[in-house]
Structure 1
Amino acid sequence: MTTTDVPAVPVAARPPGLSFRARAMGFVALTKPRIVELLLVTTLPTMVVAARGMPSVTLMLATLAGGTLAAGGANAINMYVDRDIDAVMHRTARRPLVTGAVQPTEALVFAISLEVVAFALLWATVNLLSAVLAVSATLFYVFVYTLWLKRSSVQNIVIGGAAGAVPVLVGWAAVRDQVGLAPVLLFALIFVWTPPHFWALAIRYRDDYRSVSVPMMPAVATFEKTARQIVVYSVLVVAASFGFGWAADMGPLYWASSAVLGVVFCAFAVDLYRVQTEGRAMRLFHWSISYLTFLFAAMAVDQLIH
């Protein structure tokens, strides 16, 4: 199956009488706020570790603002490109480009404007390295993941997930104006965390992906194979968390949290392999979000009390 199997979808007309607030919320929805929120959860603690304490409020706000704009722009471009399959998939049928709340040209202009402002803001208030890293993540997400891999390779989210790992490099570069082994290992942690996180969700929506010929692993491989790969990547997540702890010389709170959270992560993954149900998959999906949130919170607190 190829992307040509997806029927062409005409541009949705804007609903009559659409209020200004509804249109504004449509533009906000283009940025995928919940995903942006998760990216910011990883950026700020990374800055704390890089600074070995609390960075200046101005630097934190500038970095978070620039990162928000860059990630939001990337997500908006993703919706622009995927509006044809979004109209077919049940999970995405209410997105603003499908309903007509936002028109395609408006979305593209909005997205590019966010990227330009993000780059300018980070360059002017943080440093050039952080600006380049933030925009490079967008370019990778759009051209490598969305336009190339998503519809052509079962490794789409494995490789494409690198874009979501870049914010930790941005946060580190914002503080130190360079990257090194510790942030690279933190990048690796999120890189290997992304497949089990996303595949767990994709298990529930595998029929949606099949309907639009997107070769997400749960849609083209057996449940057993997908669950086995989730176990492998979950173990790699724990290994990467330990590697970062060593490279960044983290304290006992981080090490204890990393061990406990990692054991629970792997336990949920193994449980999914043993009992292959959507319910178990969604439990792992929700835990993967909690895992990342708790680990990075522990990382920041560890440095503030270390």
Structure 2
Amino acid sequence: MIETAEGDRLDAKDACGFAETCSALLILAKPGIVAAVTLSGFTGMVVAQRGLPQMETALPCSASLLLMTAGSAIVNNVLDRHLDEQMDRLAPRSAALKRVGSGKVLATAVALIFAAVALASATLNLRVTLLLVAASLSYTLYYTLFLKRHTHWAAVLGGLPGAFPVLIGHAAFQPHPGRASLVLFLIMLIWQPPHFWLLALLHRDEYRAAGVPVLPLIKGERFTRKCIYLGVSCLLPASLLLHLAGICSAGYAAAATLLGCAYLFACHHFMVDNNRAAFRCSIAYLLLLFSMIVIDLTT
């Protein structure tokens, strides 16, 4: 059982209103991550169907992903609340958690997760449901409680929850994982470490204050930059596997090549003096790549 800090409890006279509660929960649900996960899952659906998926399956699958991701993100905030208080960039989340109270926030998270499982169980197949549960548990327990606190390689070893959504989307339409879904899974596994390391470089002093052993603090900035270059370089051949496997067109391959080279150039250019821009380029790369896959297979 997760204990609620005494300072997180709110007296009735201080309890925030419905609108304020919803606003705080929205912050804690990490909407940017929810949007990226939903896009990843939808890309898995498109790849499974080689075109636009049927809405009667795509909608409950997307809703299940959205609910599960939001619930897991909120649980992550509760589990990490003492670490987050040491990090200035997470001040809005810490304030939102204190405003609503850890008990109410955790109850909401559990409700969202159960709703995701119930929806998937009622409308989708067993494999989708099991993958949703695996994604949530691997994020909240395996990554948040164990890897993040004990190893500077957490971004590598903890990539599974971030890569599961493409498998979930694919599993909603295909009984068995295929080459396409495994390529998407590989892309997500490769993309996540350099993405996080860019963030760690940008906020390494805050991670030091929180006692989180991120790569720049343990191995140094120079070693971290080399690892980022290596990861970004591996994304280009990984993205081209979709064309080599006969899934996406030559037009996609050309666009993916240009995008991969642009991302690598952006890392080299911006990491000299602007890690924030490099981090934003990382987000843009994934959104553009998955958008290109969807467009290529639906047009």
TM-score range, shorter chain: over 0.9
How big is each residue's C-alpha offset from its partner over 1:48-93, in whole Å with a ceiling of 9 and x where there is no partner?
A: 1210111112211111100001111111111110011111211112
- TM-score, with length taken from structure 2: 0.92
Residue among 12, 25, 30 paired with 2:8: 12
- CA separation of 1:238 and 1:82: change in aligned 2, threshold 3 A: same
Q: Where do 1:116-195 residues align within 5 Å?
A: 116-195=114-193
Q: Distance in 2 between matches of 1:205 and 1:135?
A: 31
Q: Where do 1:1-306 residues align within 5 Å?
A: 11-14=7-10, 16=14, 18-96=16-94, 100-247=98-245, 249-272=247-270, 275=272, 277=273, 279=274, 281-305=275-299
State the shift of 1:237 in Å. 1.4
State the shift of 1:97 in Å. 6.2
RMSD of aligned C-alpha atoms? Answer: 1.9
- CA separation of 1:77 and 1:54: change in aligned 2, threshold 3 A: same
Q: Distance in 2 between matches of 1:207 and 1:132?
A: 38
State the shift of 1:115 in Å. 1.4
- CA separation of 1:270 and 1:264: change in aligned 2, threshold 3 A: same
Amino acid across the alignment from 2:294: A
Q: Distance in 2 between matches of 1:138 and 1:170?
A: 12
- CA separation of 1:161 and 1:248: change in aligned 2, threshold 3 A: farther
| Percentage of pairs with the same residue | 32
The count of residues paired between Structure 1 and Structure 2 equals 294
CA contact (8 A) 1:12 1:97 kept: no
State the shift of 1:202 in Å. 1.8
Amino acid across the alignment from 1:286: R
CA contact (8 A) 1:90 1:208 kept: yes
CA contact (8 A) 1:130 1:177 kept: no
Structure 2: 5+ residue runs without aligned partners?
A: none
Q: Distance in 2 between matches of 1:178 and 1:193?
A: 24
State the shift of 1:239 in Å. 2.0
State the shift of 1:244 in Å. 3.2
